């Protein structure tokens, strides 16, 4: 099964204070979990930089972090807009029948009758339940309801089986 080399977990969105702290837009759940993953691999265009996270916390509705060797506001400002990546090995192990979204992206999706629907391109959080976006001959949005619409997931073979009408 394909595992991404790095997982995008957020973006540096601003600066905080004058001592080099950065504001972070976190994709993790809970938002502040991002500060527990260190080091961060920062990427912008074709450039990459690695930083250890020294400290961080929620500050109002924002997440702020202090990175090793970033000591003033100008250095922090130079990192604005950089994407934050971590390696998959930094994530905690999942329980049985739990998956990281990054594990699901790229899986082939087929119906219970073996009809190929396409490949998982992304997932959406809708409030009621997550939705798997599958790209094939057309795009489909399939509710991620394990045991109902999602019958099985086999990460080793790279296949998700869905109870889904291929005409829908």
Q: What pLDDT shows up at residue 3?
A: 54
Cis amide leading into 137 (omega within 30): no
Q: Where are the alpha helices (DSSP H) in 17-114?
A: 73-77, 101-104
Q: Which fold has domain 101-162?
A: SH3 type barrels. (2.30.30)
Closest to 68 (Cα-Cα) out of 46, 92, 42, 90: 42
Q: What is the share, in percent, of the chain residues with pLDDT greater than 70? A: 98
- What's residue 108's pLDDT? 98
pLDDT at 86 over 80: yes
- Range list of H helices, the chain: 73-77, 101-104
Q: What is the pLDDT of residue 54?
A: 98
Q: Mean of the pLDDT values across residues 112-119?
A: 97
CATH number of 7-89: 2.40.30.60
Q: What are the sequence ranges of the domains in the chain?
A: 7-89, 101-162
Distances (CA, A) of 147 to 97, 142, 143, 153, 163: 10, 13, 11, 10, 9
Q: What is the pTM of this model?
A: 0.76
Q: What band does 126 get if pLDDT is binned at 50, 70 and 90?
A: confident
Q: How far is CA 44 from the centre of its chain?
A: 17
pLDDT at 1 over 50: no
């Amino acid at each position: 099964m394909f595992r991404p080399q790095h997982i995008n977990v957020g973006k540096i969105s601003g600066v905080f204070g004058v001592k080099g702290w950065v504001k972070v837009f976190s994709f993790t759940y809970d938002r502040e979990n991002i500060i527990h993953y260190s080091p961060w691999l920062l990427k912008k265009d074709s450039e990459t930089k690695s930083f250890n996270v020294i400290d961080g916390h929620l500050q109002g509705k924002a997440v702020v972090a202090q990175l090793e060797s970033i000591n003033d506001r100008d250095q922090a400002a130079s990192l604005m807009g950089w994407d934050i990546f971590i390696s998959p090995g930094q994530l905690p192990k999942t329980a049985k029948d739990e998956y990281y979204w990054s594990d699901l992206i790229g899986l082939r999706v087929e119906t219970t009758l073996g009809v190929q629907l396409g490949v998982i391109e992304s997932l959406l959080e809708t409030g009621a339940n997550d939705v798997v976006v599958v790209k094939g001959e057309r795009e489909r949005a399939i509710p991620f309801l394990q045991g109902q619409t999602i019958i099985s997931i086999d990460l080793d073979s790279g296949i998700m089986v869905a109870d889904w009408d291929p005409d829908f």
